């Protein structure tokens, strides 16, 4: 696919570096020849590094565009449901009616978890952060499927993807129920994916006629879709790097959950609500923004490594926020506060010069709060939804020959020196 050439001139030599153009986005320069020249590339934070080729998701940060398998995110969020998007991420296109029926049946029948897995929860204190529980129990799934799992077998890989997408809502709801001291709820075959999640989160064994409000389940499903995948973000790159060692896919997804937890990544949705709580009221916004400009705090839910324009997911999230709060008749003062922050940030040169726009995490917390989801569960929901993206990238990696990921470094430590005995050390 190389269709042009760049050149490296160093130490009196010239090296050809093939330029490779993808379907969309910037072309890449194959820098393999750096090794021949005796150099490594240096790119802290991987700002301009493409470690992989992928066909799953495309992001244009300048235009604020996000495509999954070529479909714009706003069309997927408004016209497809989350499991259809999962199918597209896994298989390359949206399902036909038959394919959708088969896929939904398989997912619904794999939502249950091994009874013995329930005992893992008892090792945690009741006040354990649910993300700590999720890292543990998702990793523990390896113990239940390790023997039957041959990652070189495509059928094993396929069923693993379905198991993970199917079990994440159940494990997420269990991590919440455990923190409340409530009994775990079993998934129901007559509920949709999002309905089942809300049922397992909020129903109790006595609710024999439990009904899920369609406004809430539709909003939940849309939030899942908006978080499903996002190219080579930190947690997806973690899953790929772990997967490149041949590690068990359940362990790889647990690694992704751990990476997502950070406040600079998926932990931001929880941090946005904490920030809004800290600001308290619209009167305090100006003072808070001065603290941001003095770099004492960050404006959580703003900024993005790739988007230097509006995050298209934030737009859909904001529309959904208005729909849900309107339909439920909720006037959340945090929404007014968030909109004031957004207005200031979009007009203030400090933020405009730095291309700081709302990202996917800015409004999601307000909707989740309206649905009744506690703040501590926000990142768990992000992890639940992103599992489809993580496992799709894992499958894509396994669909062709791959090498273990092994970056190098710029070493600035000590020169070689002689060992000094303990008694002679000063």
Residues that bind ligand SDX (CB under 6 A): 230, 233, 264-266, 268, 292, 298-306, 354, 356, 359-361
Minimum CB separation of residue 296 from ligand SDX in Å reads 10
Catalytic-residue membership of 150: no
220 or 271: whose CB is closer to ligand SDX? 271
Catalytic pick among 81, 229, 311, 361: 361
Q: Are 345 and 338 in contact (CB under 8 A)?
A: no
Q: CA-to-CA distance for 294 and 380, rounded, in angstroms?
A: 32
The residues near 82 (Cβ < 8 Å, ≥ 6 apart) are: 193, 194, 221, 222, 224, 225, 228, 385, 388
Minimum CB separation of residue 182 from ligand SDX in Å reads 30
Could you give the count of Cα atoms lying within 13 Å of 282 in the half-sphere of its Cβ? 12
Taking the CA atoms of residue 324, residue 377, residue 56 and residue 403 in that order, the dihedral angle to the nearest 10 degrees is: 170
Of the candidates 36, 41, 38, 33, the one whose C-alpha atom is nearest the C-alpha of residue 2 is: 33
176 or 307: whose CB is closer to ligand SDX? 307
Minimum CB separation of residue 280 from ligand SDX in Å reads 19
Minimum CB separation of residue 387 from ligand SDX in Å reads 13
Q: Are 297 and 288 in contact (CB under 8 A)?
A: yes
Length of the chain: 426
54 or 142: whose CB is closer to ligand SDX? 54
Catalytic pick among 129, 230, 304, 393: 304
Q: Are 25 and 32 in contact (CB under 8 A)?
A: no
Minimum CB separation of residue 202 from ligand SDX in Å reads 26
304 or 398: whose CB is closer to ligand SDX? 304
The residues near 193 (Cβ < 8 Å, ≥ 6 apart) are: 81, 82, 83, 104, 107, 108, 169, 221, 224
Catalytic-residue membership of 304: yes
Q: Are 3 and 20 in contact (CB under 8 A)?
A: yes
129 or 304: whose CB is closer to ligand SDX? 304
Q: Name the residues annotated as catalytic.
A: 304, 361
């Amino acid at each position: 696919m190389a269709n042009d050439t760049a050149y490296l001139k160093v130490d009196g030599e010239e090296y050809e570096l093939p330029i490779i153009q993808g379907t969309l986005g910037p072309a890449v320069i194959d820098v393999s020849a750096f090794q021949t020249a005796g150099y490594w590339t240096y790119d802290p934070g991987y700002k301009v590094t493409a470690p992989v080729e992928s066909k799953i998701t495309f992001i244009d940060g300048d235009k604020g565009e996000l495509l999954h398998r070529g479909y714009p995110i706003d069309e997927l969020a408004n016209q497809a449901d989350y499991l259809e998007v999962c199918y597209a991420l896994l298989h390359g296109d949206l399902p036909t009616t038959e394919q959708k029926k088969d896929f939904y049946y398989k997912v619904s029948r794999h939502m249950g978890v091994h009874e013995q897995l329930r005992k893992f929860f008892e090792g945690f204190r009741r006040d354990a952060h649910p993300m700590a529980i999720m890292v543990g129990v998702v990793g523990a799934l390896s113990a239940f499927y390790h023997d039957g799992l041959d990652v070189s077998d495509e059928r094993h890989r396929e069923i693993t993807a379905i198991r993970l997408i199917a079990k994440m809502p159940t494990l997420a709801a269990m991590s919440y129920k455990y923190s409340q001291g409530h009994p775990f709820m079993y998934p129901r075959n007559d509920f949709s994916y999002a309905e089942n999640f809300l049922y397992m989160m909020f129903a109790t064994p006595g609710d024999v006629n439990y009904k899920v409000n369609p406004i809430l389940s539709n909003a939940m499903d849309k939030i899942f879709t908006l978080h499903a995948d996002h190219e080579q973000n930190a947690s997806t790159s973690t899953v790929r790097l772990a997967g490149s060692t041949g590690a068990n896919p359940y362990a790889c997804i647990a690694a992704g959950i751990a990476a997502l937890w950070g406040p600079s990544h998926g932990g931001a949705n929880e941090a946005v609500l904490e920030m809004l709580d800290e600001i308290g009221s619209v009167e305090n916004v100006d003072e808070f923004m001065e603290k941001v400009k003095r770099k004492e705090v960050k404006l959580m839910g703003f900024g993005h490594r790739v988007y230097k324009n509006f995050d298209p997911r934030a737009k859909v999230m904001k529309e959904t926020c208005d729909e849900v709060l309107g339909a439920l008749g909720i006037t959340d003062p945090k929404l007014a506060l968030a909109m004031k922050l957004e207005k200031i940030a979009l007009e203030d040169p400090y933020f405009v010069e730095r291309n700081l726009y709302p990202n996917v995490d800015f409004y999601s917390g307000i909707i989740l709060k309206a649905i009744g989801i506690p703040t501590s569960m926000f990142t768990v929901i992000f992890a639940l939804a992103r599992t489809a993206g993580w496992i799709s990238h894992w499958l894509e990696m396994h669909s062709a020959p791959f090498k273990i990921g092994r970056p190098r470094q710029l070493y600035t430590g000590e020169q070689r020196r002689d060992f000094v005995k303990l008694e002679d050390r000063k």
